[in-house]
Structures are given as C-alpha cells and as structure tokens.
C-alpha cells in the first residue's frame, strides 16, 4: 500500500512526509489511494505532553483549542498552553473544583465555561465565577458536558440537564420529570441547527427543539441490552455517552458502539464490522463530515466509510494507524504515537489535532490535504 498526496502539497509537508517514512512508515497491504482517504485526515508528527512538560497532572479529561491557546481539563486543574508555556489554574485561583471534565468557549463573549466535578465555572476577563446547585439552582454539581449556544449555556450533569440564560441568570432543569428520560443522569449535550441533543443514561438521545420547546427521544428500537438485534433500526443502545452534530449529521456515542443519524436514516458501527477501535466510547466530536471517536482502545476518525484508528503500543512510546475501508485494511507505524489508548477528549483546529488521554496530552499534525 502507498499513500499518494495531492500534487499541490507544500514543500514542508513533503519534507514532513519523508521524515515519517524515514522514521518507520510501514506499508503492509493493499494500496489505499489518496482519494479514498482524503476526506478523512491522517495525522502524524505526534508530540506528547505530560506533567514533566508542564501539565499539572497526566490525567487529561478535555481539550479545547481556542485561537492561539489550548485549554486542557485535567484531574489537577485547568492547564492553558500559550506561546510554548503552560499555566495552571486551580481552586486556589477560583475554580469550583480541580477536576475539569468539560470545556467550551462562548463565541460571542469569549467567556470560558468549565464543567467540573464540583460545579460550573465561568472564566471571564481574568476572573472566575462559580455556579453550584446551592448558589444558583442548577441541577447538579457533577458536570460531564458543557456547550455554549448563543446566550445560553447548556450542561449535562449527574442530576439532569440544565440551561442557563446568561442574560437573566435563570436556570431551566430537565429531568425524567419533564423530559423523556429514563433517569436524570445525563452524560452529554450538544447543539445543532435549532436543536439541543442530550445523551441520557438509559434513555438514548433526547432532542429538544428550541423553537417549539418540545422534546423527542431516540431510543434503541429493539431494546436489547446485549446485542444490536436489528441493524440500522435506530440508535445502537439506550446507554448513550456523547453526541456531536455537524453538517446535518448527528453522531451518537454509546458504551456499545457508534451511531450516525442523517435526519432520516440511522447507521450503526461496531468494532467487529468497521474500523472502530472499540465499542466502549467515551466521547465523540464532529467537524465537517468527519467524526472523531474517543474510545478505551484508541482514537478512531471516520466519515462513515473510511476509518483511521490510532493505537499506542503497550510496551513503548510508538504506535500505529490502522486504515480500514470496506474489506481493505493497512497499517502504518509512528514514533512516537499518541500518549495513551484511553482517549477522553479531542479537538481540531485547522490542521492540528489535540487528544486528551488518561496519561498525557497529544498533539498531531495533518499529513494529507
């Protein structure tokens, strides 16, 4: 197999590509032409960051690229990478909790919103403001997900989903009492079009229409907890852990596989019938037509047809990318690779990918354009 790059690729990229070859780029099986993978980015030149490089801790939960800076949620606080240096913020600086699980930035105000293990924190103008269940009326202090949608901030918590109107300061809370949820435990919230999608434990995906203020739920039609009895009949499982919306496509993460919904048809993906690294999915992010799937066995990137999965070797810092398209599969090796296979977060800005893992943060550069 060989990877063919566009003729207009820059000289720098050509040099970088040759560098990868010299470092051990291995071509093992059937040829994968450039047009077969051009819609799915291939990343290399990995650089890893740990506590030794300036992170407050190696366990990283979330990452958000925000212009010239990168915000990283760790178990030991918020780390900010800017101009080659790391700065850490903790409860001593004003965070509600050092365990920062989720990050989003309001495009209107530039405010940074942090979901933590002990409340919600807004970082604005250099000051931190804390929101808790006790001082604001939000649903729960354990926040798994936060997303800014205009003036509103949505959160997914261990006690339901919540929406904060930042103009009025009023919270709305959504649980099994007023929404089609199995129980109040929610894992993720994302915005798409005129809708909000809530990933609810045992309740599939709950869609909230912002215009009509009505809910609609998407659950596994076959209701089987062990297998997906009837393929592509709906979301693959009711225990959903994440959602991402882009280009009119909703990607849904579960602990039992991945789903794709185009508004009409559902498609399910599993580790045994696609290039998905594992059915145990912690988080999903989407940009354009591509989904970035964070699993307990590596990072998978796909457009639904071509899959590129990144895995680290168990006993050294090297690893590989597994390219799968239909029945064709090939591998290429990297040195170094991503820092760990348990992936918890990812973000992409221009041609740079940032990957949060349970043991360090990884930065990769796109090799195909």
Give the mean pLDDT of 231-250: 95
Instruction: Please report the pLDDT score of residue 209 as a whole number.
Output: 97
For the chain, give the mean pLDDT. Answer: 90
Please report, to the nearest 10 degrees, the dihedral formed by the alpha carbons of residues 90, 92, 93, 96 taken in order.
Answer: 60
Residue with tokens 């790059």, as numbered in its chain = 5
Report which secondary-structure segment, H or E, holds 13: helix 11-24
Q: Which of 13-27, 108-122, 279-293 has the lowest mean pLDDT?
A: 13-27
Distance CA 297, CA 279 (A): 9
Instruction: Please report the pLDDT score of residue 182 as a whole number.
Output: 85
pLDDT at 46 over 60: yes
As given in the structure block, the two tokens for residue 191 are: 């915005």
Instruction: Please report the pLDDT score of residue 63 as a whole number.
Output: 98
Q: How many beta carbons lie within 10 A of that of residue 47, not counting itself?
A: 12
Q: How many beta carbons lie within 10 A of that of residue 288, not counting itself?
A: 12
Higher pLDDT, 176 or 27: 176
Instruction: Please report the pLDDT score of residue 311 as a whole number.
Output: 97
Distance CA 203, CA 315 (A): 39
Taken in order of first residue, the domains within the chain and their CATH numbers are 43-366 (2.130.10.10)
Q: Which of 9-18, 248-257, 325-334 has the lowest mean pLDDT?
A: 9-18
Instruction: Please report the pLDDT score of residue 37 as a whole number.
Output: 62
As given in the structure block, the two tokens for residue 311 are: 């895995």
pLDDT at 17 over 60: no
Of 308, 324, 229, the closest CA to residue 268 belongs to 229
CB 162 within 8 A of CB 155: yes
pLDDT bracket for residue 24 (50, 70, 90): very low
pLDDT at 154 over 90: yes
Report which secondary-structure segment, H or E, holds 275: none
Which residues are within 8 A (CB) of 23 and not within 5 positions of it... i.e. 6 or more apart? 334, 335
pLDDT at 30 over 60: no
Instruction: Please report the pLDDT score of residue 7 as a whole number.
Output: 34
Q: Which of 39-43, 156-160, 239-243, 282-286 has the lowest mean pLDDT?
A: 39-43
Phi, psi of 212 (to 5 degrees): -90, -15
The tens digit of pLDDT for each residue in 81-118 reads: 999 999 999 999 999 999 999 999 999 999 999 999 99
The pLDDT > 90 percentage for the chain reads 83
Distance CA 332, CA 217 (A): 41
Q: How many CA atoms lie within 13 A of 280 on its CB side?
A: 7
């Amino acid at each position: 197999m060989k990877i063919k790059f566009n003729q207009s690729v820059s000289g720098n990229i050509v040099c970088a590509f040759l560098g990868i070859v010299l470092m051990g780029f291995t071509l093992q099986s059937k040829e994968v032409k450039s047009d077969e993978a051009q819609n799915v980015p291939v990343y290399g030149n990995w650089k890893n960051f740990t506590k030794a490089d300036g992170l407050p801790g190696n366990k990283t939960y979330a990452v958000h690229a925000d212009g010239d800076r990168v915000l990283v949620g760790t178990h030991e606080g918020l780390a900010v990478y800017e101009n080659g240096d790391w700065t850490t913020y903790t409860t001593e600086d004003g965070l509600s909790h050092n365990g920062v699980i989720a990050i989003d930035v309001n495009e209107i105000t530039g405010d940074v919103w942090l979901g933590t293990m002990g409340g919600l924190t807004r970082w604005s103008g250099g000051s931190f403001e804390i929101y808790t269940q006790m001082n604001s009326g939000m649903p729960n202090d354990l926040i798994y997900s936060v997303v800014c949608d205009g003036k509103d901030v949505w959160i997914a918590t261990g006690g339901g989903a919540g929406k904060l109107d930042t103009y009025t300061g009023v919270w709305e809370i959504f649980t099994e009492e007023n929404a089609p949820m199995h129980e109040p435990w929610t894992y993720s919230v994302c915005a798409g079009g005129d809708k909000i999608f809530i990933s609810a434990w045992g309740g599939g995906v709950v869609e909230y229409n912002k215009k009509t203020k009505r809910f609609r739920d998407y659950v596994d039609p076959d209701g089987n907890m062990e297998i997906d009895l009837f393929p592509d009949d709906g979301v693959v499982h009711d225990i959903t852990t994440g959602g991402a919306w882009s280009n009119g496509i909703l990607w849904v993460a579960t602990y039992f596989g991945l789903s794709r919904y185009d508004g009409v048809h559902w498609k399910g993906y599993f580790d045994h019938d696609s290039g998905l690294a594992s059915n145990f999915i912690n988080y999903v992010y989407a940009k354009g037509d591509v989904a970035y799937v964070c699993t307990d066995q590596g990072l998978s990137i796909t457009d639904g047809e071509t899959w590129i999965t990144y895995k680290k070797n168990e006993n050294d810092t090297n690893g590989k990318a597994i390219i799968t398209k239909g029945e064709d599969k090939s591998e290429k090796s990297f040195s170094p690779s991503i820092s760990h296979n348990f992936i918890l977060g990812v973000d992409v800005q221009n041609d740079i990918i940032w990957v949060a893992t349970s043991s360090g943060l990884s930065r990769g550069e796109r090799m195909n354009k």
